[in-house]
A and B are shown apart, each in its own frame.
Chain A
């Protein structure tokens, strides 16, 4: 048998899987009193689109992720609103439970979590 390497993004189901995940994930985030104040109420649609871009990246999909963009985008939250590890942990928790609800195999969840985790220092401006 020839060796085929299917990307993480393909194994997860590509864009359709991202859409399904955003649907669940963003509702969890908005319902969580610990973190929903970081999500601007006036611009929820744009936020949802950004969540999609974030999850596409975490799913190993095509992206133009740059740490600098992430830093800039979260800078005022770190400095003015007290964004810290506890909030990042809460988001990670929602990401994991979202994937569990979608019956994503554990080994893939671990890989997604690892990619998402790699943004921690940028998002928290360290």
Chain B
């Protein structure tokens, strides 16, 4: 074994024989979070920017993190020179043109754009959309990978929401906006096609889930797939018929619409989507769970899914933090 060069931003550190990347960085007084140094606490997670890191350094990491070349610096004994990062990369933007606008319900817009460059994304990831004046908001990609250069987003109109109001009222077909590289770790990998999946979304949290479901079905996912979509009132839901249709088409896909306030119409469950789901599926051992939408729902459901047997490795979530109050 010879010495390996570690490049971190504009710094270069030589990793000695038998020395971990963490120890090499610390020796050079590079500030990197760390604690246990035994691969347990995952504080020293970094990302390889020049290919897959050593497999041993990825032990215990979630599949999507491994997929994105994340590794634990304390467990990493480089086999080759490495370029690594411990901070999120700067956004790279490309241009996109609006090709369709359609209302999904009174407050949610289905926006379809065509990107100038084809972006490599995974169903469930999000991008940052940037308006001409630099205003940026994050939106989940609502379609699967098969659509290539076409991307759809569900944009919920928020009271005082500068971006969402603009997208609803002023953005027109033919207009352009900037779109960042896809980001986030709440996505589907076809690595366990028989695993049962539970997906819970509130409001426009259906967007990434719809993409994930489409991707999973496209890959012939054979485990049971249960989707619970909730809103306070029936007006906040959308794609009810489309999802029912999908459930008829695929016997392993199950769909439950939920409303938490007032009486539920025929065929819709009464209660919060996460409460309904957790009651109907008491044992989540070995299940894969996707949670998208309201931050409180996501945090509560993550805890509850774990207590009902799901492992944290199998829980993927995307909490939608909003800058302004919702319409209701």
Question: Which residues of A are in contact with B by a Cβ distance under 8 Å?
Answer: 18, 23, 27, 30-31, 41-42, 44-46, 48-50, 52-53, 56, 61-64, 69
Contact = CB atoms under 8 A, between A and B. Distances in A.
A41 B36 CA distance: 22
Nearest to A64: B37
Query: Mostly helix, strand, loop or mixed at chain B's interface?
Result: loop
A48 B38 contact: no
Q: Which of B40, B42, B315 has the most CB of A within 10 A?
A: B40
Given A41-B299, A48-B312, A63 B36 contact: yes
- In the A-B complex, the 8 residue pairs with the smallest Cβ-Cβ separation, listed nearest first, are A53-B36, A53-B40, A53-B41, A52-B40, A49-B42, A64-B37, A45-B312, A49-B41
Given A41-B299, A44-B312, A45-B312, A63 B38 contact: yes
B307 A23 contact: no
Contacts of B38: 53, 56, 61-64
B12 interface: no
A61 B37 CA distance: 12
Given A53-B35, A64-B38, 20 more contacts: A23-B311, A27-B306, A30-B303, A31-B307, A44-B312, A45-B312, A46-B41, A48-B312, A49-B41, A49-B43, A52-B40, A53-B36, A53-B40, A53-B41, A56-B38, A61-B38, A63-B36, A63-B38, A64-B37, A69-B35
Interface of B: 35-38, 40-43, 299, 302-303, 306-307, 311-312, 315
Contact of A46 (B42, B302, B303, B306): B42
A50 B5 CA distance: 30
A24 B303 CA distance: 14
A82 B35 CA distance: 25
Contacts of B312: 44-45, 48
A115 to B, nearest CB: 15
B291 to A, nearest CB: 12
Contacts of B40: 18, 49, 52-53, 56
B136 to A, nearest CB: 23
Contacts of A42: 299
Contacts of A63: 36, 38
B311 A30 contact: no
A33 B43 CA distance: 28
A41 to B, nearest CB: 5
A56 to B, nearest CB: 5
B307 A44 contact: no
Most chain B beta-carbon neighbours within 10 Å: one of A18, A46, A52: A52
Nearest to B37: A64
Contact of A44 (B35, B41, B302): B302
A62 B38 CA distance: 7
Nearest to A42: B299
Nearest to B309: A27
A16 to B, nearest CB: 12
Given A23-B311, A53-B36, A44 B42 contact: no
A42 B306 CA distance: 14
A23 B310 CA distance: 10
Nearest to B34: A64
Contacts of B302: 44
B293 to A, nearest CB: 16
B36 A27 contact: no
Nearest to A61: B38
A61 B312 CA distance: 23
Contacts of B37: 64
A98 to B, nearest CB: 15
B185 to A, nearest CB: 11
A81 to B, nearest CB: 19
A61 B39 CA distance: 12
Contacts of B303: 30, 41, 44
Contacts of A61: 38
Nearest to A23: B311
